[in-house]
Amino acid sequence: MGHSAAVWDYRAATEVIKDWNGTDKVVLRNPQGASARVSLRGGQVTSWRNEQGEELLFTSSKAIFKPPKAVRGGIPICFPQFGNCGSLEQHGFARNKIWTIEENPPPLNPNDSHGKSFIDLLLKPSEEDLKCWPHSFEFRLRVSLAADGSLTLISRVRNVNGKAFRFSFAYHTYLSVSDISEVRIEGLETLDYLDNLCHKQRFTEQGDAITFESEVDRAYLSTPNVVAVLDHERKRTYVIRKEGLPDVVVWNPWEKKSKSMVDFGDDEYKQMLCVDGAAIEKPVTLKPGEEWTGRLELSVVPSTFCSEHFDLKSGGF
């Protein structure tokens, strides 16, 4: 009789620790050795490592881990406002709030838990928040790590208010790359974008894949649900799948802007690229009792595998 494979206890693979400044942080692990870390400060994923222990997300060596400054790296959550397009602080307040762990959230699709290590976080507005954004909401965030090492973030925003409200949103994803000049993005060709370096003027992306040789700060509109970021030097491709997030923000501060940011190293722009699943152009409107879901799945495949087998249009292998 064959030996039964030891069953991996996913609950045990979810551990809550305190980080160096006393903030609770959740560590997720999978049987193959991959891991992810989620800080309760901002519900921010601060680390995502593959089976070899290699860090897949960028965090600046100059990142400031003291509130109110948001941590420069990982995946900050921009809510209820993206950027400075509104009356709130840049990128909203959610990334600066302490979230709580929710033991029994309303159920998700069983596939979102089966064979995954996961944690459920909850954010509700404080009295202070309601003064600057007078809308009662419940923001549920599930972060999960699958057996294949892929990382999924599922945001559910419920309007528990008496009247409708609108918000914009982004998963501000700092990808770690080998050399920005060796990176290309596939899936955004020929799409319109709002250029944040040109007063949000609207342009249409020319040619084929996007490459980088200067500062880029754009919101691509009505994008496909799958985008690929190819890092040639590392022979690695980030596959970004998303739902409920029609836009994609692409940001690299390049040299000059890097020097102007206190929490960013002068040359660090060479090792990072932000590619954010977002809902910006058409803010999400929720009537009382309604709920919005924004889903982001990040996976990594060897570039060779990707170009031979991956069809962006179908989003499948």
| Interacting residues with ligand TA6 (CB under 6 A) | 70, 83, 90-91, 172, 196, 217, 249, 251, 274
Does 90 show up as a binding residue in the annotation? yes
Minimal distance in Å, beta carbon 60 to ligand TA6? 10
Residue with smaller CB distance to ligand TA6, 240 or 274: 274
Between strands 236-243 and 247-252, the pairing is: unpaired
Alpha-carbon distances of 109 from 3, 101, 106, 171, rounded to whole Å? 31, 19, 10, 21
The single-letter code of the amino acid at 168 is S
Judged by beta carbon, residue 245 or residue 306, the one nearer ligand TA6 is 245
Nearest 5 degrees, angle CA 79-CA 71-CA 39? 75
Nearest to ligand TA6 of 92, 149 (CB atom): 92
72 is in an annotated binding site: yes
Least separation in angstroms between CB 217 and ligand TA6 = 5
Q: Is 95 a known ligand-binding residue? A: yes
Contact 278, 292 (CB under 8 A): no
Shortest Cβ 259–ligand TA6 spacing (Å): 14
Tell me how far, at minimum, the Cβ of 178 lies from ligand TA6, in Å.
Answer: 21
Q: Which is nearer to ligand TA6, 83 or 125 (CB)?
A: 83
Which letter, b or e, does each residue of 204-224 get, where b requires 16 or more Cβ atoms within 10 Å of its Cβ? Answer: ebeeeebebeebbbbbbbebb
Distance CA(76)–CA(69), nearest Å, equals 11
DSSP 112: G
Residue nearest ligand TA6 by beta-carbon distance: 251
> What residues form the annotated binding site for substrate?
72, 90, 95
